[in-house]
Chains A and B, each alone.
Chain A
Amino acid sequence: MDLLGLSVREMSKGLRDKQFTSAELTRVFLAEAKRRNDELNAYVLLTETEALAQAEASDARYAEGKPLSALDGIPCALKDIFNTRGVRTTCCSKMLERFVPPYDATAVSKLRDAGVVFLGKTNMDEFACGGSTEHSCFGPTMNPADPSTIAGGSSGGSAAAVAGNMAPFAMGTDTGGSIRQPASLCGCVGLKPTYGRISRSGVTSMASSLDTIGHFTKTVGDSALILQALAGHDPRDATTPEVLVPDYLKDLEKGVKGLKIGLPKEYFAEGVDPEVRDAVMAVAKVYESLGAIVKEVSLPCTKYAVAVYYIIMPAELSANLARFDGIRYGSRPKKEGESIVDYYYNARGEGFGAEIKRRIMIGTYVLSAGYYDAFYNKALKVRTLIKNDFDAVFKEVDVLLTPTSPIPAFKPGEKINDPIAMYLADALTIPANAAGVPALSVPCGVTAAGLPIGMQLITPQFTESLLFQVGRAYEKAVG
């Protein structure tokens, strides 16, 4: 039996029906991870011993007929930004290269309580800042579809782990596209839920008003199943509203007949690769053939989203990363200096990489006296207009269909010294973070060169069920 190719839901059934054990599953994925990691660099740490112990405990529960949940015994990979009790968590930064958290993130403890087996920690851009994983202190993650190209980012390791059959599912974070963009580039399903739907507690903050927790899976149904285990209010994260968690699998097979699907013209404009555009337009045709009503719509403030993002995000990031001072957290610098101020300069100068420094500088600048109104407050106001665009368009249509990334996977080094070119790779994913709405990236074909293409579905806040319903309809139609 090809265990590596199974979906999480198929694995769950196989475990219940005793076709295989969690230990078998775990061994197969660990072996594949080890076989491919030299080439792909998806994992920065494999926790083999712990994983096998967790798997054996799970098998004992199945033997007693008492699994903890549908996810009991299923292996998973965690982006190295999720705190894991007793297991090194680096954010792929030299600043945290020796950091061992004393507690689990809420998302991790929920998965642990569900019986999930943790295979290891995956590569990412330092502190989740980047779109290619090239800004990792462990080096870039390569794309399983074409290892001469990057996996995207910032959650590139998690995307490559799932697309490369090195994990059945993987956790990531998405502040401006860091789940959807690598999912699109690697060819797997990536969910960015509504802001606040999954607790951020214990996940190192990047930009607190934009950060979301989500996951990578092979199928849309798996994405729904995993959200079911993670969604909900958490007393440790005050930004998780007490909104009812629905049954995310209930409408999965309902289809799209009669649904109104909007194609926002700004998402198909200049800068979008023609092959990507054509692939997503072909998806629109599939939806039409399934009985959906497809129409062009407009979100006129889309073109300002990247500029808004590159003010608000660095502002929040510079404040959040102030805690990494080499005292409470962070590496002790080689050169300490004479005073506490020298120590700060050295700890932060040595510990942070180039992209982090760049963003701390922008953030500090836009928040500094005399510039706050011109930059930061201005960006917050344009953010309102971006959100208003979504509110208005969702009176017209049920769901939006767009490309996820304007371009397929690119070569390492191509954009690393051109920050704006790298930032524009997130142009189509940032608006959903600005408005707090959920979005799902689903594979929808490959380029002539064989690189995966992803489509993005966007729906109103707290309607992830509809995302899954629409995503699944396409997945089912194309097989």
Chain B
Amino acid sequence: MELSQEQVRHIAKLARLGLTDEEVKKFSTQLTNILQYIEVLNEVDTSVVAPTNQVTGLSNVMREDVMKGGWVSREELLGCSELPVESDQIRVKPAIE
């Protein structure tokens, strides 16, 4: 399988990842090589094998839906942002025209 520069740009768009033209060119080659490498899995017959999503046998870990506050304040969390904070909200660029 080969990943064209056009496909690389499409994936970068899905990932919201800004790439330079040089990066697009480099990744087209490198990602093609990596995809070729992982094609080795096609030789394994998995028709009767279940997928493994977790390894220690846990499923649906539940807890009471109770807020346990106190260890981090709202101000401290908002302080992690480098953007301006107004009325407990982060001011961002317009999302709709």
Q: Do A and B come from one complex?
A: yes
Residues of chain A having any CB pair with chain B under 8 Å:
98-103, 194-196, 209, 235, 238-239, 241, 301, 303-304, 306-308, 310-311, 318, 325-332, 336-346, 348-350, 352, 354, 357-358, 360-362, 364-365, 368, 375, 377-385, 387, 419-420, 434-436, 461
**B30 nearest CB across to chain A (Å):** 6
8 tightest CB-CB pairs across the interface, nearest first?
Answer: A349-B18, A436-B55, A380-B51, A102-B76, A345-B18, A381-B46, A344-B16, A238-B61
Is B72's CB within 8 Å of the partner chain A? Answer: yes
Instruction: Tell me which residues across on chain A come within 8 A of B55, comparing CB atoms.
Output: 195, 209, 387, 434-436, 461
Knowing that A301-B44, A327-B81, A332-B83 touch, tell me 5 more A-B residue pairs with CB under 8 angstroms: A348-B16, A362-B31, A378-B42, A381-B50, A381-B51
Known: A344-B16, A365-B11. A307 touches B38 (CB 8 A): yes
Closest A residue by C-beta to B62: A238
| A304-B40 in contact (CB<8A) | yes
A235 CA / B61 CA spacing, docked (Å): 10
Q: How large is the interface on B (under 10, 10 to 19, 20 to 34, 35 or more residues)?
A: 35 or more
Instruction: Tell me which residues across on chain B come within 8 A of A339, comparing CB atoms.
Output: 93-95, 97
Closest A residue by C-beta to B90: A327
Pairs across A and B, CB under 8 Å, 17 listed? A102-B73, A103-B76, A238-B63, A239-B58, A304-B44, A336-B93, A344-B16, A345-B16, A349-B17, A349-B20, A361-B8, A361-B11, A361-B17, A361-B27, A379-B41, A382-B41, A461-B55
Instruction: Tell me which residues across on chain A come within 8 A of B38, comparing CB atoms.
Output: 307, 310-311, 375, 379
Complex interface bits, B39-54 against A, C-beta within 8 A gives 1, otherwise 0: 1111010100111111
Instruction: Tell me which residues across on chain A come within 8 A of B97, comparing CB atoms.
Output: 339
A227 CA / B27 CA spacing, docked (Å): 40
| A325-B16 in contact (CB<8A) | yes
Closest B residue by C-beta to A433: B55
Complex interface bits, B47-91 against A, C-beta within 8 A gives 1, otherwise 0: 001111111111001010000000111001101111100000010
Instruction: Tell me which residues across on chain A come within 8 A of B63, comparing CB atoms.
Output: 235, 238
A6 CA / B75 CA spacing, docked (Å): 43
| A378-B31 in contact (CB<8A) | no
Closest B residue by C-beta to A383: B52
| A384-B17 in contact (CB<8A) | no
**B85 nearest CB across to chain A (Å):** 11
A361 CA / B17 CA spacing, docked (Å): 9
Closest B residue by C-beta to A461: B56
Instruction: Tell me which residues across on chain A come within 8 A of B71, comparing CB atoms.
Output: 103
A175 CA / B14 CA spacing, docked (Å): 25
| A307-B41 in contact (CB<8A) | yes
| B93-A241 in contact (CB<8A) | no
| B17-A352 in contact (CB<8A) | yes
| B82-A381 in contact (CB<8A) | no
Instruction: Tell me which residues across on chain A come within 8 A of B16, comparing CB atoms.
Output: 325, 341, 344-345, 348
| B50-A209 in contact (CB<8A) | no
Closest B residue by C-beta to A239: B58
| B46-A378 in contact (CB<8A) | yes
| A384-B81 in contact (CB<8A) | no
Instruction: Tell me which residues across on chain B come within 8 A of A194, comparing CB atoms.
Output: 56
**A418 nearest CB across to chain B (Å):** 9
Instruction: Tell me which residues across on chain B come within 8 A of A379, comparing CB atoms.
Output: 38, 41
**A238 nearest CB across to chain B (Å):** 4
Closest A residue by C-beta to B68: A235
Instruction: Tell me which residues across on chain B come within 8 A of A342, comparing CB atoms.
Output: 93
Most buried by A among B39, B81, B90, B97: B81
Is B23's CB within 8 Å of the partner chain A? Answer: yes
**A438 nearest CB across to chain B (Å):** 12
Name B12-44 residues within 8 Å CB distance of A. Answer: 12, 14-20, 23, 27, 30-31, 33-35, 37-42, 44
Closest B residue by C-beta to A436: B55
| B31-A102 in contact (CB<8A) | no
A23 CA / B30 CA spacing, docked (Å): 50
| A307-B37 in contact (CB<8A) | yes
